[in-house]
C-alpha cells in the first residue's frame, strides 16, 4: 500500500525535529533545474505567477536564491515535520514513534511541485511551488508537463518493490493530476470526507484536509495492508458510510452537534 498526500503551504523550520533520521529527496537534479527556472523572477513576477502577497513573494524569491543542491541539517528538515498545514495537523507526525515513521517512510508519498515525490523523512529546504503553478519550463507550459510520466513511473517501481498494486489517494486533485493515470499501474482508492451541513452532505475544505491527515495517521498506526484496514477509521467522529461508498471510493461522514 502507498498513501499519497499533498504538501502544505505553511512550513515550520522553528521547532526542532523529533528524529535525527533523514533521507535525501530522490529528484534533486530536477528540483535544482526548477530552481534555476525560478531564480530570474522578481518578487513582483512571483506575486503575479503564484497570486501571492508582496511579503510572501519577497520571502520566496529569497528562498530560491538560498536553495542549494546540498542538503544539510542547517538548511533542511524532514518533509513530514516541516509541512505545517491542515493535513499535517491531522497527521501529527511529531507524536509518532520512530517505528511509525519508519513504516511511513516506505508507505507514504508526498507529492510536491518542486521535489516531485517526497518520503516523509526526506530533507527539504523551504520553498513555495504549488503543482498547479503555470511555470513555463524547458519541458512545457506548467509543472504537469515538467514531471510528465516521471511520478507515475516512480510509484509503479515502488509498488513493484513492495509486490503490491494499491494506492490510497489522500492528495488533492491538483496534486494527484501530476500522477499520470494512463501510466500508473495500480488500483487507486479515493477517500472522501463529508460533513452534514445545512441539510446536506458536503466536503468542507478545512475539515476534509484535516481528515486526510487523520486517515494517514490511522493507516500508519495500523500499518495498513489492505483496503479493509481503513474502514474502521473513526477519528473525530467520522465513520465509514457503506451506502455512499463505491468499490474504489470510500466515503466517511460525520454529523457534529450544532
For the cut 90, the answer to whether the pLDDT of residue 52 exceeds it is yes
Query: Is position 121 within any domain?
Result: yes
Q: CA 240, CA 234: separation in Å to the nearest integer? A: 8
Query: Is position 217 within any domain?
Result: yes
Give the pLDDT of residue 134: 98
Query: Is position 59 within any domain?
Result: no
Query: Is position 41 within any domain?
Result: no
For 162-204, the pLDDT digits (tens) are 999 999 999 999 999 999 999 999 999 999 999 999 999 999 9
Contact criterion met (CB below 8 Å) for 104 and 4: no
For 120-136, the pLDDT digits (tens) are 999 999 999 999 999 99
SS3 helix, strand, coil % of the chain, rounded to 5?
40, 20, 40
Query: Is position 60 within any domain?
Result: no
HSE of 41 in the Cβ direction (CA atoms, 13 Å)? Answer: 24
Give the pLDDT of residue 16: 97
Query: Is position 124 within any domain?
Result: yes
Q: What mean pLDDT, rounded, does the chain reach?
A: 98
Query: Is position 57 within any domain?
Result: no
The number of helices, as runs of H, and strands, as runs of E, in the chain is: 10, 10
Q: Which three cell numbers stand for residue 175?
A: 496534486
For the cut 80, the answer to whether the pLDDT of residue 258 exceeds it is no
Structural domain of residue 13, as residue ranges?
A: 2-26+76-254
For the cut 90, the answer to whether the pLDDT of residue 257 exceeds it is no
Tell which residue, 250, 255, 251, 214, has the closest CA to residue 237.
Answer: 255
* Total of domains in the chain: 1
For 5-33, the pLDDT digits (tens) are 999 999 999 999 999 999 999 999 999 99
* pTM (whole model) above 0.85: yes
Query: Is position 227 within any domain?
Result: yes
Amino acid at each position: 500500500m502507498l498513501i499519497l498526500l499533498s504538501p502544505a503551504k505553511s512550513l515550520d523550520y522553528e521547532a526542532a525535529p523529533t528524529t535525527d533520521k533523514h533521507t535525501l529527496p530522490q529528484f534533486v537534479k530536477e528540483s535544482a533545474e526548477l530552481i534555476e527556472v525560478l531564480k530570474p523572477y522578481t518578487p513582483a513576477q512571483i506575486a503575479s505567477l503564484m497570486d501571492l502577497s508582496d511579503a510572501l513573494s519577497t520571502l520566496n524569491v529569497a528562498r530560491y536564491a538560498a536553495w542549494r543542491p546540498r542538503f544539510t541539517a542547517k538548511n533542511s528538515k524532514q518533509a513530514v515535520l516541516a509541512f505545517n498545514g491542515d493535513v499535517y495537523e491531522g497527521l501529527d507526525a511529531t507524536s509518532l514513534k520512530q517505528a511509525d515513521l519508519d513504516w511511513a517512510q516506505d508507505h507514504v508519498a508526498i507529492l510536491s511541485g518542486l521535489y516531485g515525490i517526497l518520503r516523509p523523512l526526506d530533507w527539504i529546504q523551504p520553498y513555495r511551488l504549488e503543482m498547479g503553478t503555470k511555470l513555463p519550463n524547458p519541458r512545457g507550459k506548467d509543472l504537469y508537463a515538467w514531471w510528465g510520466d516521471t511520478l507515475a513511473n516512480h510509484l509503479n517501481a515502488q509498488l513493484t518493490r513492495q509486490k503490491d498494486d494499491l494506492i490510497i489517494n489522500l492528495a488533492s486533485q491538483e496534486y494527484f493530476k501530476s500522477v499520470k493515470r494512463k501510466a500508473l499501474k495500480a488500483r487507486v482508492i479515493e477517500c472522501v470526507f463529508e460533513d452534514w451541513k445545512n441539510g446536506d452532505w458536503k466536503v468542507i475544505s478545512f475539515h476534509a484536509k484535516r481528515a486526510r491527515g487523520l486517515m494517514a495517521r490511522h493507516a500508519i498506526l495500523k500499518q495498513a495492508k489492505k483496503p479493509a484496514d481503513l474502514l474502521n477509521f473513526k477519528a473525530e467522529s467520522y465513520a465509514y458510510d457503506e451506502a455512499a461508498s463505491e468499490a474504489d471510493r470510500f466515503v466517511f461522514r460525520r454529523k457534529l452537534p450544532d
